[in-house]
A and B are shown apart, each in its own frame.
Chain A
Amino acid sequence: KAGVTQTPRYLIKTRGQQVTLSCSPISGHRSVSWYQQTPGQGLQFLFEYFSETQRNKGNFPGRFSGRQFSNSRSEMNVSTLELGDSALYLCASSSLTSGGKQFFGPGTRLTVL
């Protein structure tokens, strides 16, 4: 099976712009979670989608949003970018049979100038 894929891998934006990141889960996985990784903060949970519904949400401002499509692909959007949004954004997929394990994509490195 192909792993989790994320596009783009690298992105440079300026303050005030908006960005959309994409994640394709492992085939058959219906749960997709998004995380932000910054130095010293580890992986901060953004949100989780399951069958096109947001099931959980982390403690991030409303500028961060996401959605999931019927084929389980997911996108996350960040509007009005701030310098502090520069981070590695990781997507992870899982299934009911993956034993609680999440499978991560390579991430999208977002730099906000």
Chain B
Amino acid sequence: GAGVSQTPSNKVTEKGKYVELRCDPISGHTALYWYRQSLGQGPEFLIYFQGTGAADDSGLPNDRFFAVRPEGSVSTLKIQRTERGDSAVYLCASSLRLAGGPTDYNEQFFGPGTRLTVL
């Protein structure tokens, strides 16, 4: 399909392990976002890429979290030394970054998410 895809859909790991979560955005979308959604909450911003560079990583909770987008398309969210508190659904979204005014909004298209469970 032409939507945002994320793999794996589910990931179960043990405390202390390293995990990688992958996001394939919609072709041609230059903007890419990662969010984390805990049960009963709305998505929480983690990081924003414009092209290959991380333009805003202010939402990453600590230095165990890192994300890359080396060719400006696929992105990988990496979590080192996982903790039980990292358990959540990790969502990826992409959009066309178009110039616009303060009330213009470029729709973000979300993937289905990766459910991460840290035992």
Partners in one complex: no
A residues engaging B (CB < 8 A)?
none
